[in-house]
Chain A
Amino acid sequence: GAGVSQSPRYKVAKRGQDVALRCDPISGHVSLFWYQQALGQGPEFLTYFQNEAQLDKSGLPSDRFFAERPEGSVSTLKIQRTQQEDSAVYLCASSPDRVGEQYFGPGTRLTVT
């Protein structure tokens, strides 16, 4: 069956540009997570949705980062006024709400020049 998909797979942005990263979770999955993976590091939690409710956004590094999931399915992570330190792979994961079963997408590699 279809897994988690993310688009675009690669994004190059000039410093100061806004970007929007899309995540299509597995159909019917209630929970959705965003993680940021810097080069050579493990993924780090950004934010978490249960259906359309954003239950935890404690990992968002600054107020330039914003995420939404308005209809409880597709989610968008938006980064305003991108900075070089935002360069990373952004991973989305969805879960049917059973412990541990987070299914990851392939990620979006963002490069800020």
Chain B
Amino acid sequence: AQSVTQLDSQVPVFEEAPVELRCNYSSSVSVYLFWYVQYPNQGLQLLLKYLSGSTLVKGINGFEAEFNKSQTSFHLRKPSVHISDTAEYFCAVSGRNSGNTPLVFGKGTRLSVIA
């Protein structure tokens, strides 16, 4: 079984400042890792994913994340945020099995970008 901890429930940040949203996971097996974004009254949109290979993963909207196996972390970063980045961000994990498996999500981090 897997679990995900998002250490910050809310992160306020000024526009054009950098941001890091933290995510730690626990699993007895190897995992795939994901970050999703949820805008108000919308479904989840995939920002980026780590499956294998380079531990630095680049996604949409200028976001990137780094997989750190020793620290079981997958923190999301953006060097300069925009007002439009205001949303809920979810870190998720799935077991590294064959085929599709359900995602296990963290509780989310609400990013508020201040003008």
Contacts and interface: CB of A to CB of B under 8 A. Distances in A.
B88 to A, nearest CB: 9
B97 to A, nearest CB: 9
Interface residues of B, number: 24
A105 B49 CA distance: 19
B43 A42 contact: no
B100 A107 contact: no
B100 A104 contact: no
Contact of A99 (B45, B100, B107, B108): B100
Nearest to B42: A106
Interface string A39-68: 011111100101000001001000000000
Contact of A45 (B32, B43, B103): B103
B74 interface: no
Contact of A104 (B4, B43, B51, B104): B43
B71 interface: no
Interface residues of A, number: 27
A107 to B, nearest CB: 6
Interface in A69-105: 91, 93, 95, 97, 99-105
B100 A42 contact: no
Contacts of A112: none
8 contacts: A33-B102, A42-B90, A42-B105, A50-B99, A95-B100, A100-B32, A100-B46, A100-B49
Interface of A: 4, 31, 33, 35, 40-45, 48, 50, 56, 59, 91, 93, 95, 97, 99-107
Given A41-B108, A106-B42, 12 more contacts: A42-B92, A42-B107, A43-B44, A99-B51, A99-B94, A100-B32, A100-B34, A100-B51, A101-B46, A102-B46, A103-B46, A104-B43
